[in-house]
Structure 1
């Protein structure tokens, strides 16, 4: 029947879907909390030394940073409408019967 073109034509500059945005925020938060956990474990490993205090401070600051980064607004989709391409095939009008 119809021809299916594999190239999708972008006609809007809309942002990502809500579910994609939530997934991206969750991923950033989990990464930040993982870094915080590593900092806390390194503070235990370097107990009594100067590095212990740096890792403890980092483990206290990172939750705040993680929440701020995770709650940042939805990033606009970097793409936009495609430029007009005169060489691209046009949709043909329906045939008369």
Structure 2
């Protein structure tokens, strides 16, 4: 977008999230995922002799979650969302013509 003077104009809605905020969000997602992983491994150890089926599910979650956590944590600044244009062109419609009204004296 350019103005009349040739200077470039930016829309604030198209700005990316700041780098510090992006890194903080990634770290938060990773820590939450690793906390869930740790709790699932502990649950697998506690439930091993009590409920073996649940322990297997918790152990599988503990094994698979690090990969998922890294993928989720690394998802970030690669793609920017496409914002809709603020100008939506409307198709040109033909003008409505006035009806042809005849005078009552012309009709006789």
TM-score (norm 2): 0.58
Deviation for aligned residue 1:67: 0.1
Partners of 1:44 and 1:73 in 2: how far apart?
A: 34
Structure ranking higher on relative contact order (CA contacts 8 Å, 6+ apart): 1
Runs of 4+ aligned residues of structure 1 deviating over 3 Å after TM superposition are none
Residue correspondence of structure 1 range 71-82 to structure 2 within 5 A: 71-74=74-77, 76=80
Structure possessing the higher radius of gyration over alpha carbons: 2
How many residue pairs end up in the alignment?
A: 74
**Which residue does 2:46 correspond to in 1?**
45
**Which residue does 2:15 correspond to in 1?**
14
Gaps of 5+ in 2: 1-10, 87-108
Gaps of 5+ in 1: 1-10, 83-97
Partners of 1:76 and 1:65 in 2: how far apart?
A: 22
TM-score (norm 1): 0.65
Check the 8 A contact 1:14/1:76 in 2, yes or no. Answer: no
Partners of 1:23 and 1:73 in 2: how far apart?
A: 11
